[in-house]
Chains A and B, each alone.
Chain A
């Protein structure tokens, strides 16, 4: 995202300079246009991220969290900063887990199973995705 911001700023600035009408007011307009473009890109990116989460069966809510904070939230997890904070703490702790001889954390997904619901957590693209789902208790099948 930082590189996209930088590219748009550099492009607008150079375009205005080449037009030979460079002045203080046009410079400000360029940066405003760049800011609007960046905001639109960010909104489209967040919407793309959450589209898939909406379609997960039995989902009761979700969170998308980055190092800077909560990027998106919905359902029972909407504005739930407490849960977001606890989940991030747990992810940092769990990432310190190392089995013998392994360089990578030993998990792709973390599930937190409670009586009535389950939090399923995974990391992708430097973002943490948390989905709260109904816990459909399944008894083990004896074969």
Chain B
């Protein structure tokens, strides 16, 4: 059932700039992960996405949280009930 998701995760990792990807549900349970992002990051990612939703009154506006450092950026965004995190190298 999750083979489609697994394929998408593998396709995402083919991008040379991406070193990690992770999907969680709203409770922080991992749906799939690759690379530098793993099971231990699911909780923080889902909580961040939940907290940021209260910054906007527009329900159609899905904010993106970006944790920036010299070594790379971690982007977190919720899409419905699924939260996606991507770890990208700095360009």
Q: Is the interface of B mostly helix, strand, loop or mixed?
A: mixed
- Cβ contact within 8 Å between B69 and A112: no
Within 8 A of A (CB), among B44-72: 44, 47-48, 51-52, 54-56, 58, 61, 63-72
- Cβ contact within 8 Å between A97 and B55: no
With a cutoff of 8 Å between Cβ atoms, the chain B residues found around residue A119 in the complex are 55
Q: Is the interface of A mostly helix, strand, loop or mixed?
A: mixed
* 1/0 contact string of A101-125 vs chain B (CB within 8 Å): 0000011111111110001000000
Q: Does A86 contact B (CB under 8 A)?
A: yes
Interface size class of A (residues with CB under 8 A): 20 to 34
Q: Does B27 contact A (CB under 8 A)?
A: no
Residues of B within 8 Å of A, CB-based: how many? Answer: 26
Q: Does B21 contact A (CB under 8 A)?
A: no
With a cutoff of 8 Å between Cβ atoms, the chain A residues found around residue B72 in the complex are 106
Pairs across A and B, CB under 8 Å, 19 listed: A83-B55, A86-B52, A89-B51, A90-B51, A90-B52, A93-B44, A94-B67, A97-B41, A98-B40, A100-B38, A106-B69, A107-B67, A108-B68, A109-B67, A110-B65, A111-B66, A112-B64, A113-B66, A114-B61
